[in-house]
Amino acid sequence: MTKITLVRHGQTDYNKNRIIQGQIDIPLNSLGKEQAVKTSNHFKNESIDLIISSPLIRAYETAQIIANEINYTNDILIDKAFIERNFGQADGKEISLCIEKVHQEEITGLELSSQLKKRMIDGILKVVKENENKNIVIVCHSHSIKAVLSALNPDQYNFKTPLTNCGITLLEHRDNQLTILKASYNDYI
């Protein structure tokens, strides 16, 4: 059995101001750094074999803070399979002005939901294949995690499912099956 923990990055000023970040490289703000420290409490009693991060700075900073807090001594791997969705022309825009067009996939340059789901599931399965029976943490993004949730359980999750900054989603890979154990919780903060 392989355990996969998806962690959404901590808060950024774009999150605070309700602006779509997509693949714009925005760092954590002070609250986001505090959230990452508190998130590390979830992992204090676990042995983490591997931490992987999206290449975007907000995810990498979150991964670094968690790694430092839990005394993780291995390298944090960067994997672009876990980068946030490309929101095309919606990047940098207020969420309220374009979120419905995103959900309807009417934005020029938008990475389609089907493409994002495939990228994320393929990325996770590749990591699992290379790290069977390990405890893996992947620090990534809101729509990346929503893609996984909606791919695995479309009756319960979709791209409108709310996810908190530094929320944790637990997955398990057993007998060639990827299963959601718990979605986007943050009771450790």
Residue 130 falls in the annotated catalytic set: no
CB 168 within 8 A of CB 39: yes
Task: Please give the C-alpha separations between residue 138 and each of 40, 62, 67, in angstroms, as whole numbers.
Answer: 13, 10, 12
Eight-class DSSP state of 85: P
Helix (H, G, I), strand (E, B) or coil at 126: helix
Length of the chain: 189
**Identity of the residue numbered 63:** A
- Active-site residue, selected from the candidate residues 46, 61, 69, 84: 84
Residue 84 falls in the annotated catalytic set: yes
Contacts (Cβ under 8 Å, ≥6 apart) of 146 = 157, 158, 159, 161, 163
Distance CA 126, CA 140 (A): 16
Smallest CA-to-CA distance from 51 within 121, 131, 137, 147 is with: 137
Catalytic residue positions, numbered = 9, 84
